[in-house]
Homo-oligomer: A and B are copies of this chain.
Amino acid sequence: MAVKNNRRAQMTRLLLKTALTELMREKPFSQITIKDICERADLNRTTFYLHYTDQQALLADVENEVQQKALEYLRNIGPTDDAPGLIEAFLRYIREHADLFRTLLCDAGSEDFRSRFIQHTLEKSRVNIPVSCASEEEPYVLCFLMQGSVHMIIEWIRRDFDIEARTLALLIYQTCHRVAP
């Protein structure tokens, strides 16, 4: 488990990552074996262990990469006061990478990814959720809004984007502000 920054090592990791994302479209993460991944990536099984300890570690790598790219995308939009517009842009990004987010957000195999992803994304893109209530209730309201929003997006993916991104963005924005004005 040394540094492994060579082109080759990076290429190998890329192969493993794409193999995993491919497989996750076909079956739930819980029943994807290391052998599966290596066969799909056309790599020797021993090679896997040179880079990751198990499937979870590989998945974590995929998730971090996705999150990083999403943040970068939002950063390029730049700071703006148009919160619904930012949400809309974010939704479009998700729809453009639908196959990816369908597995990462909807599959139960990587549940912690949801909270991390949405939280980091929304927080760092300055879409602040205003909370003003009794302090002991604050974390609960936050949790409510967070998870409610996430699952709206998940529902959107599951329904194959049956409403406009703009519509959903406004809905999320308005719903959150109706709860915490």
Measured CB to CB, the residues of A under 8 A from B are: 30, 108, 111-112, 136-137, 139-141, 143-152, 155-156, 159, 162-163, 167-168, 171, 175, 178-179
Contact = CB atoms under 8 A, between A and B. Distances in A.
A155 to B, nearest CB: 5
Nearest to A162: B136
Nearest to A133: B171
A145 to B, nearest CB: 7
Main secondary structure of the interface of A (DSSP, over half): helix
B30 A171 contact: no
Nearest to A149: B144
Contact of A145 (B140, B148, B167): B148
A143 B137 contact: no
A155 B167 contact: no
